[in-house]
């Protein structure tokens, strides 16, 4: 069983949803990003999503664009991101790590070599934003040969008729993009999310994580009441960005502030399904 | 496919008889083109069903946009098959855009260069001053058929933005233009024009604030406004079907030029030259000549401060294949697959990629791509202005500079056809500054 499947099986047995916090590799510098990654499991991360910086993050809003820019300025590359995951894997054998990014750095690295190196480093899954099902053959065979899950995005614009195509070849979990829009800009209503999930449940047994627009512990809790996981990205990056000094360097509390927020989100998610919903 | 195996149009081609009106000859030409498309040995049938030209092109977009791209593809195929759509487009091209555009024998320029005869396809005489309106007119009619009420577009030099704002004014549609902050600064007259036309112009300050960044921002807008918004891409790039669709709408340039060339000289040109940023004006004039192997096709990229200066926009000469903005093509990028900034004196060529069909034409050797520096373009800008009384856009000044390089070595009975794709009024501030003149 893959690390992702194993983790969702444990969560299901405990009747709770997954908190999936996000960090951008190299943001604000290589060492600080790695310290945040190392601290996330203890702070309550069930899975971890690592953004790979790209010069042209077309699906991202201003907050993650800025994170990507800081990561690049700090020297983050796909290769260095894999090295960071390998060091993390040496001290944490269980927490699944998913890389999220854009195709061109992978294409440039070479898809086959990348999948081999990513698997060796201990990466568990890949989310490639600009690689829709129609183009997935570029990566799919290599990813599966190395035991990497391909995690597909499903959007509100994805019609029911299209779902089987989108889900074919995907594994690990489904990433439901809860809004039509870029990251960190707006949030879906509970009603919209409640309507979206049955569409997915009808066609897949894979766990579903909701992302885009989940900012607060309460929103994360709502998400895991109907889905299997909640991805929180932009609001963590905002906390990080606020802690930086005028030159954009990490402040003394940067790591602690981000991990404190992960802890609060984890508290919100942990007993979300058993706690009474207070109106 | 081997470009050497193409058929040459016979002397009795239906578009060769000058006694037949231009419109009838264009229709006859279209018949020949349709017949060509059915033959296996034509280069004009691309892309394939996945939107690919060889390994280039494709549909590399986020899932949120994928259904929209597929819907657009279907809507465009349906429009193409509908004679009513073609009729409507022809009406606007003639009476609003002002087509056909003339073919001008640049005699003084040819004499000064002392070699080949230079013919200029006068796309700068179109309404709004460039070839951009050909494509915009086609796409706006499509957007209307699709029931879209809000139009967004990216722009570099501002020519595509002005063209888009123009048709939005014509049809009463909301218009939002994304333009890099650097370009807003160096193309002020076009920014003012767009605002007069009722468009909202957003200055994009991410990256270097040029065309690439405005395209990123337009895609972000589209993904957030899928329900009512049509993304009107201005060049032969982006996810399928844009490269093919924009090419189809721009082919009117080459279709007309073929007929006009026959009329003027009784034969096809020896060389066709056009400037290439994304490559829409070049594709529009190249494509109708793809199956004429005797016609040499040359695309001119911006070499900025020199091809090896590190400050250029020559994706084919100095880039390598990768994926950006929805398609696989030649890109300026570093060893890690990060896109590098392009540089050109011309805002319209300041882009680190090129349309995927150009990438393919380069790879199969059907078209050749060369570089022209800022300084060479500036000299050609003045040469054309002085000898022909035509102030060219800095974009096509690059093509002119290459013409000036090759014409002297050619015989006086040889012909160069160049696409004069835009007028240079918008560039006079940039040129004045470079020449040390304060306006």
Which value does ipTM take for this structure?
A: 0.95
Residue A183 pLDDT: 85
Inform me whether the pLDDT recorded for A278 exceeds 70.
no
Residue B3 pLDDT: 41
Record: contact A153-B62, CB cut-off 8 A: yes
Residue A135 pLDDT: 96
Record: contact A77-B336, CB cut-off 8 A: yes
Record: contact B63-A105, CB cut-off 8 A: no
Q: Which domains does chain A have, with CATH numbers?
A: 3-278 (3.20.20.70)
Q: Is B205 on the interface with A (CB under 8 A)?
A: no
Record: contact A177-B64, CB cut-off 8 A: yes
Is residue A225 within 8 A of residue A270, CB to CB? The reply is: no
Q: Give how far A133 is from chain B: nearest CA, Å.
A: 8
Q: Give how far A275 is from chain B: nearest CA, Å.
A: 34
Chain A: residue nearest B340 by CA? A55
3-state class (DSSP) for residue A253: coil
Chain B: residue nearest A75 by CA? B336
Give how far Cα B37 sits from Cα of B47, B52, B158, B180, B281, Å: 12, 17, 35, 39, 22
Active site residues of B: 132, 154, 421
> What residues of chain B score a pLDDT lower than 70?
1-19, 21, 32-40
Record: contact A107-B324, CB cut-off 8 A: no
Packed helices B132-145 and B83-92: angle between N→C axes, nearest 10 degrees: 140
Residues from chain B contacting residue A60 (CB–CB below 8 Å):
220
Give how far Cα A151 sits from Cα of A20, A96, A269, B397, Å: 14, 13, 22, 48
* pLDDT tens digits along A22-41: 999 999 999 999 999 999 99
Position with higher pLDDT, B17 vs A96: A96
B 389-408 residues with CB < 8 A to A: none
Inform me whether the pLDDT recorded for A143 exceeds 80.
yes
Strands B117-122 and B103-105: antiparallel
Q: What is the mean pLDDT of residues A109-137?
A: 97
Q: What percent of chain A is modeled with pLDDT above 90?
A: 89
Record: contact A180-B226, CB cut-off 8 A: yes
Record: contact B226-A108, CB cut-off 8 A: no
- Nearest Cα neighbor of A28 from A59, A67, A79 is A67
Inform me whether the pLDDT recorded for A163 exceeds 60.
yes
Is residue B60 within 8 A of residue B326, CB to CB? The reply is: yes
Q: What is the mean pLDDT of residues A63-87?
A: 97
Q: Give how far B219 is from chain A: nearest CA, Å.
A: 7
Residue B10 pLDDT: 41
Residues from chain A contacting residue B326 (CB–CB below 8 Å):
130
Residues from chain B contacting residue A134 (CB–CB below 8 Å):
50, 58-59, 66
Residue A276 pLDDT: 57
Q: Is B49 on the interface with A (CB under 8 A)?
A: no
Question: How would residue A180 be classed by pLDDT, with cut points 50, 70 and 90?
Answer: confident
Active site residues of A: 49, 60
Residue B39 pLDDT: 55
Record: contact A56-B325, CB cut-off 8 A: yes
Residues from chain B contacting residue A180 (CB–CB below 8 Å):
64, 223-227
Question: How would residue A190 be classed by pLDDT, with cut points 50, 70 and 90?
Answer: confident
Q: Which of A58, A131, A157 sits opposite B216 (nearest CB)?
A: A58
Q: Give how far B437 is from chain A: nearest CA, Å.
A: 37
Record: contact B62-A132, CB cut-off 8 A: yes
- Nearest Cα neighbor of B166 from B234, B250, B85 is B234
Q: What percent of chain A is modeled with pLDDT above 70?
A: 99
Residues from chain A contacting residue B223 (CB–CB below 8 Å):
59, 180-182
Chain A: residue nearest B335 by CA? A108
Residues from chain B contacting residue A79 (CB–CB below 8 Å):
336
Q: Give how far A5 is from chain B: nearest CA, Å.
A: 24
Residue A64 to residue A252: CA distance in whole angstroms: 22
Number of alpha carbons in the 13 Å side-chain half-sphere of residue A223: 33
**Beta-carbon pairs below 8 A across chains A and B:** 115
Residues from chain A contacting residue B324 (CB–CB below 8 Å):
56, 104
Q: Is B226 on the interface with A (CB under 8 A)?
A: yes
Site of tokens 């697959």: B337
Q: Which residue of A25, A26, A52, A58 to mutate against B (max B Cβ within 10 Å)?
A: A58
Residue B9 pLDDT: 41
Record: contact B224-A180, CB cut-off 8 A: yes
Q: Which of B68, B322, B340 sits opposite A108 (nearest CB)?
A: B322
Residue A8 pLDDT: 98
Q: Which residue of B207, B220, B335 to mutate against A (max A Cβ within 10 Å)?
A: B220
Q: Is B202 on the interface with A (CB under 8 A)?
A: no
Residue B16 pLDDT: 59
Residue A273 pLDDT: 85
H or E segment to which residue A257 belongs: helix A254-270
Residue B358 pLDDT: 98
Q: Give how far A277 is from chain B: nearest CA, Å.
A: 31
Residues from chain B contacting residue A161 (CB–CB below 8 Å):
none
Residue B112 to residue B141: CA distance in whole angstroms: 43
- Nearest Cα neighbor of A101 from A121, A81, A122 is A81
Q: Give how far A57 is from chain B: nearest CA, Å.
A: 8
Q: Give how far B237 is from chain A: nearest CA, Å.
A: 15
Q: Which of A105, A153, A158 sits opposite B338 (nearest CB)?
A: A105
Q: What is the mean pLDDT of residues A224-228?
A: 95
Chain B: residue nearest A131 by CA? B60
Name the least confident of A171-185, A258-272, B78-92, B123-137.
A171-185
Residue B114 to residue B410: CA distance in whole angstroms: 9
């Amino acid at each position: 069983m893959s690390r992702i499947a194993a983790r969702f099986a444990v969560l299901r047995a405990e009747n709770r949803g997954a908190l999936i916090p996000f960090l951008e590799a190299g943001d604000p510098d290589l060492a600080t990003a790695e310290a945040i990654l190392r601290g996330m499991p203890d702070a309550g991360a069930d899975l971890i999503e690592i953004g790979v910086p790209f010069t042209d993050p077309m699906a991202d809003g201003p907050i993650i664009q800025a994170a990507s820019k800081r990561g690049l300025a700090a020297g983050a590359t796909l290769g260095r991101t894999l090295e960071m995951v390998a060091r993390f894997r040496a001290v944490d054998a269980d927490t699944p790590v998913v890389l999220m990014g854009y195709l061109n750095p992978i294409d440039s690295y070479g898809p086959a070599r990348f999948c081999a190196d990513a698997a060796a480093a201990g990466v568990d899954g890949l989310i490639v934003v600009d690689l829709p099902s129609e183009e997935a053959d570029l990566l799919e065979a290599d990813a599966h040969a190395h035991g990497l899950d391909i995690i597909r995005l499903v959007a509100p614009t994805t019609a029911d008729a299209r779902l089987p195509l989108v889900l074919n070849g995907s594994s690990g979990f489904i990433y439901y993009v809860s809004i039509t829009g870029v990251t960190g800009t707006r949030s879906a209503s509970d009603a919209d999310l409640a309507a979206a999930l049955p569409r997915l449940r009808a066609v897949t047994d894979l766990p579903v994580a909701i992302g885009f627009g989940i900012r607060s512990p309460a929103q994360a809790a709502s998400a895991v009441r109907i889905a299997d996981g909640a991805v929180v990205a932009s609001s963590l990056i905002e906390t990080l960005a606020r802690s930086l000094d005028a030159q954009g360097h990490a402040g003394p509390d940067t790591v602690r502030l981000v991990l404190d927020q992960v802890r609060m989100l984890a508290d919100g998610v942990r007993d979300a399904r058993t706690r009474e919903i207070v109106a | 496919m081997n470009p050497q195996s193409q058929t040459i149009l016979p002397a009795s081609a239906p578009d060769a008889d000058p006694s037949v009106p231009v419109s009838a000859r264009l229709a006859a030409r279209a018949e020949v083109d349709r017949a060509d498309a059915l033959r296996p040995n034509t280069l004009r049938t691309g892309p394939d069903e996945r939107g690919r030209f060889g390994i280039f092109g494709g549909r590399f977009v986020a899932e949120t946009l994928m259904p929209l791209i597929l819907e657009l593809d279907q809507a465009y195929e349906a429009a193409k098959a509908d004679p009513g759509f073609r009729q409507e487009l022809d009406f606007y091209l003639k009476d609003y855009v002002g087509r056909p555009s003339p073919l001008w024998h640049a005699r003084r320029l040819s004499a000064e260069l002392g070699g080949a005869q230079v013919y200029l396809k006068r796309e700068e005489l179109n309404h709004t001053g460039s070839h951009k309106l050909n494509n915009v007119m086609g796409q706006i009619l499509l957007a209307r058929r699709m029931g879209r009420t809000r139009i967004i577009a990216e722009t570099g030099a501002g020519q595509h933005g002005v063209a888009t704002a123009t048709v939005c004014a014509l049809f009463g549609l909301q218009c939002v233009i994304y333009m890099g902050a650097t370009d807003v600064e160096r193309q002020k007259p076009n920014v003012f024009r767009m605002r007069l036309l009722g468009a909202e112009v957003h200055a994009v300050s991410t990256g270097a604030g040029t065309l690439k960044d405005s395209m990123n921002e337009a895609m972000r807008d589209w993904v957030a406004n899928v329900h009512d918004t049509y993304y009107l891409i201005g060049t032969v790039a982006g996810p399928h079907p844009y490269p093919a669709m924009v090419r189809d709408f721009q082919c009117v340039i080459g279709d007309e030029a073929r007929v006009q060339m026959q009329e003027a000289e009784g034969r096809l040109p020896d060389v066709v030259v056009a400037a290439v940023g994304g490559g829409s004006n070049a594709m529009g004039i190249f494509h109708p000549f793809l199956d004429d192997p005797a016609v040499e096709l040359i695309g001119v990229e911006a070499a900025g401060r020199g091809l090896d200066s590190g400050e250029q926009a020559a994706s084919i000469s100095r880039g390598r294949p990768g994926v950006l903005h929805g398609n696989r093509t030649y890109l300026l990028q570093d060893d890690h697959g990060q896109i590098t900034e392009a540089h050109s004196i011309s805002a319209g060529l300041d882009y680190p990629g090129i349309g995927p069909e150009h990438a393919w034409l380069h790879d199969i050797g059907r078209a050749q791509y060369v570089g022209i520096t800022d300084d060479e373009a500036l000299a050609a800008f003045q040469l054309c202005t002085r000898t022909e009384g035509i102030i060219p856009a800095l974009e096509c000044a690059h093509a002119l500079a290459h013409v000036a390089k090759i014409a002297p070595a050619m015989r006086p009975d040889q012909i160069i056809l160049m696409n004069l794709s835009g007028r240079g009024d918008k560039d006079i501030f940039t040129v004045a500054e470079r020449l040390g003149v304060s306006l």
